[in-house]
Amino acid sequence: MAESNGTPDLAKGRALLSSLPTIIAGTLASLAVIVYPLGLVAYWIQMWQDYTHDVTLALYAASLIPAPVAAGRALDVLPYSSNLVEGAFPELRLEGFLGSW
């Protein structure tokens, strides 16, 4: 129960603290779900354009790359992909939302 002076219950704080490792693990897992496919696509496009000129062969070759290497490539490509999305969808820019205020 909450105390009479409005301070939060100590048990709730302990419950949040005990669930912190779960929150961190879930955040890292969701990041891995996003980062690995982005790295796979980055290697797929690179192999398709530079080496094979065959979409299916490039996808097969990109799938042979180890997951940590593909994830590392995704972290290299991530800043460029955000610029690509911003260029393709200019209405998603933050200034567009704030400019109407």
Q: In 3-state terms, the chain is what percent helix, strand and coil (to 5)?
A: 80, 0, 20
HSE value, Cβ hemisphere, 13 Å, CA-based, for 63: 6
Give one word for 53, left, alpha or beta, with left for phi > 0 and alpha for psi -120 to 50: left
Question: So what's the pLDDT on residue 47?
Answer: 92
Return the sign of the alpha-carbon dihedral for residues 36, 40, 43, 46: negative
pLDDT for the residue 44 = 92
- 5-59 pLDDT, tens digit per residue, is 555 666 676 777 788 888 889 988 888 888 889 899 989 998 999 998 999 999 9
pLDDT digits 0-9 by tens, 46-90: 899 999 899 999 999 999 999 899 988 888 877 776 666 666 666
pLDDT band at residue 94, thresholds of 50, 70 and 90?
Answer: low
> What is the reported pLDDT for 93?
59
Of the pLDDT bands very low, low, confident and very high (cuts 50, 70, 90), residue 95 is: low
What's the pLDDT score for residue 14? 74
